[in-house]
Amino acid sequence: MNVGFIGLGIMGTPMANHLIDAGHTLFVYDVFKIPAEVTDKGATAVASSAEVAKNADIIILMVPDTPHVDEALFGKGGVAEGLTAGKIVVDMSSISPVETKKFAEKINALGCDYLDAPVSGGDVGAKAASLTIMVGGPDAAFEKVKPLFEKMGKNITLVGGNGDGQTTKVANQIIVALTIEAVSEALLFASKAGADPAKVRQALMGGFANSRILEVHGERIVTRNFGPGFRIELHQKDLNLALSSARALQIALPNTATAQELFNAVAARGGGKLDHSAMVQALELLANHDVA
């Protein structure tokens, strides 16, 4: 297929590379410099999102937040300027479900289909092509794009209509944040009590408390490896979506709010660009004890 890819960051670069490796022709654009590894593999760098849309039948976006998607789609030189009827726009960013529905309506008015397809799995999943992909949109468009999804992920689910993919991602981010908090508390407790947190983690991985978060982020906590896979500032954005949506739905998400405050505390001390496993630093500050 002729595929467009907009957003070649920590996640987008390996995702685009998998598509190139699968034999697809890629046209790529980013507001920053295109990584050489993408063009070295044969991708064609173009001057704007509109140029991506002109050249590609399926246009994928992987950018940080709702305003970035809005700009990439409808700003000057945006995707909308290069679309012709019958193309498919796929937003794999994690953004507002409400705005997603509005974006879909605008793209549909141009005679094109729209899929919201946010992912979970972080940079590890992007590199391993093992992402979980949560899709909202029409069945026919999903079936056309599914072969591309299968080159980037493993667990691929059409959840429902436009916006439902983003709603699922928000739910995912609630679970991830609360599980990071639970793992952080458990390892902090073990360390303060005098046990070896690395061995405690190893023991817990054999029981009912095991999780992907304990496996990956628990290791980050005990080895003090907080280089970003998924940045705190991005998880803050996702929890803001959760909490603002909760207010609109008139439901309470008390533990989500607590997790956000812990992220806020780390960010306030300059840690917004650290991996979200660094949430433990807020708890360590409260305990006057570092997991080590």
Q: What is the pLDDT of residues 183-227, one digit of tens each?
A: 999 999 999 999 999 999 999 999 999 999 999 999 999 999 999
Percent of the chain with pLDDT over 70: 100
For residue 123, the model assigns a pLDDT of 87
DSSP states along the chain: -EEEEE--STTHHHHHHHHHHTT-EEEEE-SSPPPHHHHHTTPEE-SSHHHHHHH-SEEEE--SSHHHHHHHHHSTT-HHHH--TT-EEEE-S---HHHHHHHHHHHHHTT-EEEE--EESHHHHHHHT-EEEEEES-HHHHHHHHHHHHHHEEEEEEEESTTHHHHHHHHHHHHHHHHHHHHHHHHHHHHHTT--HHHHHHHHTTSTT--HHHHHHHHHHHHT----SSBHHHHHHHHHHHHHHHHHHT---HHHHHHHHHHHHHIIIIITTSBGGGGHHHHHHHHT----
Q: What is the pLDDT of residues 226-246, one digit of tens each?
A: 998 889 999 999 999 999 999
For residue 171, the model assigns a pLDDT of 96
Q: What is the pLDDT of residues 62-97, one digit of tens each?
A: 999 999 999 999 999 999 999 999 999 999 999 999
Query: Rounded to two decimals, what is the model's pTM?
Result: 0.90
Catalytic positions: 169
